[in-house]
Amino acid sequence: MERIVNLCKRRGLVFPSSDIYGGLSSCWDYGPIGVELKRNVKEAWWRDMVWGRGDILGLDCSILMHPKVWEASGHIDGFTDPLVDCRVCKKRYREDHLEDTTKCPEPKCGGDLTAARNFNLMFKTFMGPVEDSANTVFMRPETAQGMFVNFSNVLDTQRVKLPFGVAQVGKSFRNEITPGNFLFRTREFEQMEMEFFIQPEDEAQWYEYWKNERYDWYLRNGIKKEKLRLREHEADELAHYARGCADVEYEFPFGWSELEGIASRTDYDLGKHAEHSGKDLTYFDEEKRERYRPFVIEPAAGADRATLAFLVDAYDEDEVDGESRIVLRLHPRLAPVKVAILPLLRKLGQPEKAREIHARLRPNMVTQYDQSGSIGRRYRRQDEIGTPFCVTIDHQTMEDGTVTLRDRDALTQDRVHEDELQGELMKRLFG
Ligand code: ATP
């Protein structure tokens, strides 16, 4: 894990937040390379969940919502974790993460722990200039409620029929007791959530469908099968309203951990919002000629957690020409930079030719131009950020217009005519 954190800092993927002030605990900034990676993760999700299907629509809701939303959803009363303190070293823990709930797990300490207190994870702030309880608002702890409170808006404006889904990608905030493991658990993070509204009798079928679909999504984007599993929750782990819940888990260096949860939530959320808002959140089924509240299957993923899993999974070290190299074997769809353009020499017209080719490719894909250092070092730099292809302009290019196309993983170098380069790259990158 430390090697990944170091690589992320060295190559501009992820920096500690407020770095010049010593960082802010568990807050991270995505650098110029990391921002492309995370965007690609979110875009892969959006493409597969929204654009690529006819039955899911998007939303982008505000982070601050009416406080009654959180009353109705149960977050004000129930969104808590059990907090315990060590009486000796004063460290804090989540009781449900401890094996022995009476002793501090710090090996050198082992002090007595306090009884657990429920700690609400929502961040509070005030709307307007007066800081009193009447003006308290919360930073949303999940994006899901935006979809539930907009159910009627979507229904009334989009002429949708069951089954249909509403999806959102956006920031959420949780005042976690024990954040950590780099991007895995932070207090500010991005979620990719979708509420799929269905006829109640189709619940079992859609629950199976979304578990399989979401598990496959990670495989399709390059995660190794032996590192991914789907874990069904035990009955005692389920929320009281949930009919079923399964986690897609990844084997991180710190153990198997949740990437995404798929929950069958019945009509609980729409029911609670109907009760608290007094609005009718039912659906009129024209075929059945009846009105009812749809059930919901919710796949809820984290963009930062997924980004971390893709990074960890892609990280590899091998040897090329007797030299060790670090390489991120990212799926081309997720790779931050798709192609690097490298003139072999800084003379004989090669940089000019390389810039010309670069300018032609740039509108269609994320590219980098690099002419500094030996060609071997330039390849290493690109390998470390996972660039799938490098295009080298050499003396032969100046004679016959062909360039070499180097493949990050196979390490092959094929000669391709510059006029066919874009088509060849598109084929290799996007199939
Ligand atoms: P955990 O048990 O790890 O706290 P959770 O079950 O509370 O997670 P959900 O409420 O189901 O998580 O949120 C859906 C997804 O949002 C999670 O699977 C995860 O990918 C992401 N997520 C939740 N909390 C965090 C966090 N603190 N930092 C980063 N991602 C998070």
Cα 191 to ligand 1 centroid, rounded to whole Å:
8
What is the predicted pLDDT for the residue at 51? 97
- Report which of 398, 389, 406 is spatially closest to residue 351, judged by C-alpha positions: 398
What is the predicted pLDDT for the residue at 358? 97
Of all residues in the chain, what percent carry a pLDDT higher than 70? 100
Which residues, 6+ apart, have CB-to-CB distance to 431 below 8 Å? Answer: none
Environment class of residue 78 by beta-carbon count within 10 Å: exposed (0-12), middle (13-18) or buried (19+)?
exposed
pLDDT digit string (tens) for 332-390? 999 999 999 999 999 999 999 999 999 999 999 999 999 999 999 999 999 999 999 99
What is the predicted pLDDT for the residue at 56? 98
Of all residues in the chain, what percent carry a pLDDT higher than 90? 93
- Report which of 251, 205, 246 is spatially closest to residue 226, judged by C-alpha positions: 251
197 CA to centre of own chain: 23
User: pLDDT band at residue 237, thresholds of 50, 70 and 90?
Assistant: confident
Ligand 1 atom nearest residue 184's Cα: 29
What is the predicted pLDDT for the residue at 74? 95
What is the predicted pLDDT for the residue at 321? 85
User: pLDDT band at residue 85, thresholds of 50, 70 and 90?
Assistant: very high
Asked if residue 130 has pLDDT above 90, the reply is no
Round the average pLDDT of the chain to a whole number and report it. Answer: 96
Which residues, 6+ apart, have CB-to-CB distance to 403 below 8 Å? Answer: 357, 391, 392, 393, 394, 397, 415, 416, 417, 418, 421
φ and ψ at residue 424, rounded to 5 degrees: -65, -45
What is the predicted pLDDT for the residue at 348? 92
pLDDT digit string (tens) for 1-40? 999 999 999 999 999 999 999 999 999 999 999 999 999 9
pLDDT digit string (tens) for 51-81? 999 999 999 999 999 999 999 999 999 999 9
Which residues, 6+ apart, have CB-to-CB distance to 120 below 8 Å? Answer: 76, 79, 80, 175
What is the predicted pLDDT for the residue at 33? 98
Contact between 337 and 39 under an 8 Å Cβ cutoff? The reply is no
Residues at CB less than 6 angstroms from ligand 1: 142, 174, 176, 185-186, 189, 191, 258-261, 300-302, 304-305
Distance CA 337, CA 178 (A): 34
Which tokens in the block code for residue 280? 């009718």
Distance CA 334, CA 43 (A): 9
**What residue owns the CA closest to ligand 1's atom 18?**
260
**What residue owns the CA closest to ligand 1's atom 22?**
302
Domains of the chain: 2-67+137-311 (3.30.930.10), 337-430 (3.40.50.800)
For residue 162, give the 3-state DSSP assignment. Answer: coil
Asked if residue 202 has pLDDT above 90, the reply is yes
Cα 302 to ligand 1 centroid, rounded to whole Å:
6
User: pLDDT band at residue 242, thresholds of 50, 70 and 90?
Assistant: confident
Residue whose entry in the numeric block shows the structure tokens 């069951």: 162
User: pLDDT band at residue 240, thresholds of 50, 70 and 90?
Assistant: confident
User: pLDDT band at residue 183, thresholds of 50, 70 and 90?
Assistant: very high
User: pLDDT band at residue 185, thresholds of 50, 70 and 90?
Assistant: very high
pLDDT digit string (tens) for 389-399? 999 999 999 99
What is the predicted pLDDT for the residue at 104? 94
Contact between 368 and 342 under an 8 Å Cβ cutoff? The reply is no
Cα 406 to ligand 1 centroid, rounded to whole Å:
39
Residue whose entry in the numeric block shows the structure tokens 């017209």: 349
Where is 36: in which H helix or E strand? helix 32-46
Between the alpha carbon of residue 237 and those of residues 34, 59, 193, the distances in Å are 34, 30, 21
Rg of the chain taking only CA atoms, in angstroms: 25
Where is 314: in which H helix or E strand? helix 303-314
**What residue owns the CA closest to ligand 1's atom 4?**
185
**What residue owns the CA closest to ligand 1's atom 26?**
185
User: pLDDT band at residue 133, thresholds of 50, 70 and 90?
Assistant: confident
Amino acid at 214: R
Cα 412 to ligand 1 centroid, rounded to whole Å:
41
Environment class of residue 424 by beta-carbon count within 10 Å: exposed (0-12), middle (13-18) or buried (19+)?
middle
Across-strand partners of 245? 263
pLDDT digit string (tens) for 255-288? 999 999 999 999 999 999 999 999 999 999 999 9
The structure's pTM equals: 0.95
Between the alpha carbon of residue 148 and those of residues 184, 278, 280, 299, the distances in Å are 27, 14, 12, 14
